[in-house]
């Protein structure tokens, strides 16, 4: 059989559009690859192949397609997101047998634009924590070394893309849940601006901390998927209009950054020596493009207390009732986060919001002089898959189960779009990610510049990877 899984998503969609391959053939190819890969990685525990085939048989080819039309391309949806008629557990034993009555509006839009949803990707309970395990489906493993974690909470999506089970996978990001697994699995993950990807209906539709976004193997494929996802929707009150020119056009017309501001640690976290060395090597790619690299002229010393308050408030608002009714069925980290939120005062939240505003204004001023802010995506290489969360690094203990996510959650506070792109490998062959951040709502420039870094780094052809099984 043709190795369809080695095609990029862009190539696959072009072949679907011209009729060189059919949606049913690609669904069968995805099913075959899933059967080969899944026993080693546990990324896509719920399949909906028959549903996808039924929809593919009735797929209408548009006379004039939107920029992101997918023509039947198989994709995966994170198990926090409803897909009508498909088991959706949210990674929680409370919902182990739950089947969604209706799809999230994002899924509806993707299917209208030709996506074939073939699977749900694994996630931790309610997406809490950047380590993908739960009591329903167990642990998802890193294909570069199955003893290790792919991170989370979009860990299943990252692994599915990195191994070629699907060409594109959706994820979500609060503290780094798209960026961290992209870095650990060696693929690309974009945290878009709040509202760029409409979703819902939501209990918290005005919340800007959590966003939905695309995962793929290349920056070009990220642009394709973002075009399929974006556009205003009445059900999402903060949704943004689609750009006049597509994100795919922006990537094609993009330029290298003239000047970037770099920080190794944002002034807030230890950095593993392998991450430090790999990031320094990756920075040479910018020099090869003629990009000037200067130090970032700010630190994020108060980012963790701000983020902890805002995250806890969100957890209390979203899951407080669940805690009251089913405390014994929630993992301890979720209980802790909800209770932390319920103990907050209005003054606590107000001070955090004011401090966040200060970070935002200081950060946005950086773009008066630079095109991008660049950091390592994660402070550590992938660690053991049976570790619940990283408790210390280089002898420095972390305060909570999310403290080690500092490099990503600090930048969540800015609301600026951020992308993790492959930046190299550790001496023992584990992927490292580089995080690129642009000015507010400017995904177009970010993607264009990210593609130039991707070309300079020359790592794009390392995927898809066959799992390296270790015990």
User: For residue range 135-180, what is the model confidence (pLDDT) as tens digits?
Assistant: 999 999 999 999 999 999 999 999 999 999 999 999 999 999 999 9
Q: How far apart are the first and last CA of the chain?
A: 30
Do residues 225 and 214 lie in contact, with contact meaning Cβ atoms separated by under 8 Å?
yes
Closest residue by Cα to residue 30 from 42, 14, 48: 48
Domain assignment present for residue 468? The answer is no
The catalytic residue among 103, 154, 157, 177 is 177
The catalytic residue among 153, 246, 263, 403 is 153
Closest residue by Cα to residue 427 from 284, 297, 287, 277: 277
78 part of the active site = yes
pLDDT, position 63: 81
Domain assignment present for residue 62? The answer is yes
Domain assignment present for residue 437? The answer is yes
pLDDT, position 61: 87
Domain assignment present for residue 322? The answer is no
pLDDT, position 1: 53
| Total structural domains within the chain | 1
400 part of the active site = no
The span from the CA of 34 to the CA of 114, in Å, is 21
177 part of the active site = yes
Domain assignment present for residue 342? The answer is no
The span from the CA of 124 to the CA of 126, in Å, is 6
Domain assignment present for residue 282? The answer is yes
DSSP per residue, 438-464: -STT-HHHHHHHHHHHHHHHT-GGG-S
Domain assignment present for residue 253? The answer is yes
Regions in the chain scoring below 50 on pLDDT: none
pLDDT, position 65: 81
pLDDT, position 64: 83
Sorted by sequence, the CB contacts under 8 Å of residue 259 that are 6+ apart come out as 291, 292, 293, 294, 369, 370, 371
Identify the DSSP state of 423: E
pLDDT, position 2: 76
What domain range includes position 358? 4-302+349-462
CATH label of the domain that carries residue 275: 3.90.1300.10
Domain assignment present for residue 418? The answer is yes
């Amino acid at each position: 059989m043709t190795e369809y899984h080695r095609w990029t998503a862009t190539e696959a969609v072009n072949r679907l559009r011209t009729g060189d391959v059919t949606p049913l053939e690609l669904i069968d190819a995805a099913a075959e690859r899933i059967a080969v890969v899944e026993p080693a990685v546990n990324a896509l525990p719920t399949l909906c192949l028959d549903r996808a085939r039924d929809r593919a048989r009735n797929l209408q080819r548009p006379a004039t397609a939107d920029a992101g039309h997918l023509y039947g391309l198989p994709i995966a949806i994170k198990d926090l997101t409803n897909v009508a008629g498909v088991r959706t557990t949210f990674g929680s034993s409370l919902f182990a047998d739950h089947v969604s009555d209706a799809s999230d509006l994002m899924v509806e839009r993707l299917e209208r634009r030709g996506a074939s949803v073939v699977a749900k990707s694994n996630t931790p309970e309610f997406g809490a924590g950047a380590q993908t395990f739960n009591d329903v489906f167990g642990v998802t493993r890193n294909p570069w070394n199955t003893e290790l974690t792919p991170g989370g909470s979009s860990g299943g999506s990252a692994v599915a893309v990195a191994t070629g089970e699907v060409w594109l996978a959706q994820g979500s990001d609060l503290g780094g849940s798209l960026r961290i697994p992209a870095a650990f699995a060696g693929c690309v993950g974009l945290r878009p601006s709040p509202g760029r990807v409409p979703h819902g209906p939501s209990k918290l539709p005005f919340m800007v901390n959590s966003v939905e976004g695309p995962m793929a193997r290349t920056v070009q494929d990220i642009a394709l998927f973002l075009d399929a996802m974006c556009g205003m929707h009445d059900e999402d009150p903060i949704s943004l209009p689609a750009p006049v020119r597509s994100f795919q056009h922006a990537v094609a017309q993009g330029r290298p950054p003239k000047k970037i501001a770099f920080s190794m640690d944002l002034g807030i976290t230890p950095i593993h020596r392998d991450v430090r060395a790999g990031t320094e090597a990756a920075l040479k790619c910018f020099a090869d493009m003629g990009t000037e690299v200067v130090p970032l002229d700010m630190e994020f010393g108060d980012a963790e207390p701000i983020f902890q308050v805002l995250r806890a408030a969100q957890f209390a608002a979203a899951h407080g009732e669940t805690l009251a009714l089913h405390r014994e069925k929630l993992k301890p980290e979720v209980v802790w986060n909800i209770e932390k939120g319920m103990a907050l005062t209005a003054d606590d939240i107000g001070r955090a919001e004011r401090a966040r505003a200060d970070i935002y204004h200081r950060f946005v001023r950086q773009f008066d002089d630079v095109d991008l802010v660049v950091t390592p995506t994660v402070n550590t290489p992938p660690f053991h898959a049976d570790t619940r969360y990283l408790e210390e690094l280089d002898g420095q203990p972390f305060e909570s189960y999310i403290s080690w996510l500092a490099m990503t959650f600090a930048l969540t506070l800015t609301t600026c779009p951020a992308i993790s792109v492959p930046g190299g490998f550790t001496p023992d062959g584990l992927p490292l990610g580089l995080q690129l951040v642009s000015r507010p709502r400017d995904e177009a420039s970010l993607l264009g510049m990210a593609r130039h870094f991707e070309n300079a780094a020359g790592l794009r052809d390392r995927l898809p990877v066959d799992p390296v099984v270790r015990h």
